[in-house]
């Protein structure tokens, strides 16, 4: 995935003919939808703005951007996507897989340009990679063996670990495929994987305590879990989450 490719798709989508834009203001409006937080995706957002500028689009001058952040709460995405549709944005930039799915469900008319860490065909975003069809197109960094590679790296760090904890957000659309990849790789190393579902920050202490009780000696996390923490800890004291598990002997990765 490259920024240039993403912005090229975004610019092209803005030129798609749309009857719904007939009464829209002259300045195009990008609806930016993300399942995480502005802070968590600050680096991506800076690259997004830079590439827009290089393509001749400057926010506030010749393009407007409506931002919607779900802050790790995936169940907010449908309403956020619907709000962007209601505002008749010119194009939607859905920059995570859950955001892309919410945008796809919200409109079949407004062009959608997505980035996805899941297989976009399996996820139902496009008909095929060569011929996406519909109103959605984008780029993906999906790797079928990513879970296996991460487990292999963890095995190098903790070679004697026989029980692995895998911390996931069960609401992520591709999580079952990720789980199967990790479990298949674990069998090659003679390991057992226990999956802990943590959809909200309040789930962390309970799930991690369960993994410790099951004698898990290493823990696989993910950026999805990180975005959940970043979004849902706002306005409240951060729970202990990863810290007590690591102090209890879990090697965290």
- For residue range 77-113, list pLDDT tens digits in order: 999 999 999 999 999 999 988 999 999 999 999 999 9
Q: Do 146-252 and 3-140 have the same topology in CATH? A: yes
Query: What's the CATH number of domain 146-252, 3.60.150.10, 3.20.20.80, 3.40.50.2300, 3.50.50.60?
Result: 3.40.50.2300
Q: Of the segments 22-26, 127-131, 220-224, which one has the largest average pLDDT value?
A: 127-131
Question: Which 3 state secondary structure label does DSSP give 230?
Answer: helix
Please state, in angstroms and rounded to a whole number, the distance separating the CA atoms of residues 2 and 140. Answer: 10
Q: What is the pLDDT of residue 247?
A: 40
Question: Which 3 state secondary structure label does DSSP give 97?
Answer: helix
Q: Is the dihedral of CA 57, 59, 65, 67 positive or negative?
A: positive
Question: CATH class for domain 3-140?
Answer: alpha beta
Please state, in angstroms and rounded to a whole number, the distance separating the CA atoms of residues 51 and 37. Answer: 20
- For residue range 116-173, list pLDDT tens digits in order: 867 788 878 888 878 888 999 988 876 555 667 778 888 888 888 889 888 888 877 6
Query: Rounded mean pLDDT of 3-30?
Result: 59
What are the domain boundaries of the chain? 3-140, 146-252
Question: Which 3 state secondary structure label does DSSP give 219?
Answer: strand
Please state, in angstroms and rounded to a whole number, the distance separating the CA atoms of residues 226 and 199. Answer: 11
Query: Rounded mean pLDDT of 176-203?
Result: 83
Query: Rounded mean pLDDT of 36-65?
Result: 92
Strands (E), 73-188: 91-94, 112-116, 136-140, 163-168
pTM score = 0.63
């Amino acid at each position: 995935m490259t920024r240039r490719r993403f912005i090229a798709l975004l610019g092209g989508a803005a030129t798609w003919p749309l009857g719904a834009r007939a009464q829209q203001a002259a300045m195009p409006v990008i609806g930016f939808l993300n399942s995480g937080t502005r802070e968590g995706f600050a680096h991506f957002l800076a690259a997004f703005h830079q590439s827009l500028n290089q393509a001749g689009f400057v926010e506030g001058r010749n393009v407007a951007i409506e931002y919607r952040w779900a802050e790790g709460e995936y169940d907010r995405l449908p309403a956020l996507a619907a709000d962007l549709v209601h505002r008749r944005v010119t194009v939607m930039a859905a920059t995570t897989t859950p955001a892309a799915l919410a945008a796809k469900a919200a409109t079949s008319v407004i062009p959608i340009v997505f980035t996805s860490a899941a297989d976009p065909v399996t996820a139902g975003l496009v008909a095929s990679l060569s011929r996406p069809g519909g109103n959605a197109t984008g780029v993906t960094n999906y790797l079928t063996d990513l879970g296996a590679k991460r487990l292999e790296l963890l095995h190098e760090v903790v070679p004697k670990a026989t029980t692995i904890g895998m911390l996931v957000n069960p609401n992520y659309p591709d999580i079952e495929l990720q789980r199967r990849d990790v479990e298949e790789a674990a069998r090659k190393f003679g390991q057992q994987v226990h999956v802990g579902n943590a959809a909200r920050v309040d789930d962390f202490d309970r799930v991690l305590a369960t993994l410790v009780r099951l004698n898990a000696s290493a823990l696989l996390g993910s950026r999805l879990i990180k975005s959940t923490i970043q979004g849902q800890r706002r306005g409240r004291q951060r729970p202990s989450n990863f810290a007590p598990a690591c102090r209890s002997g879990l090697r965290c990765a």
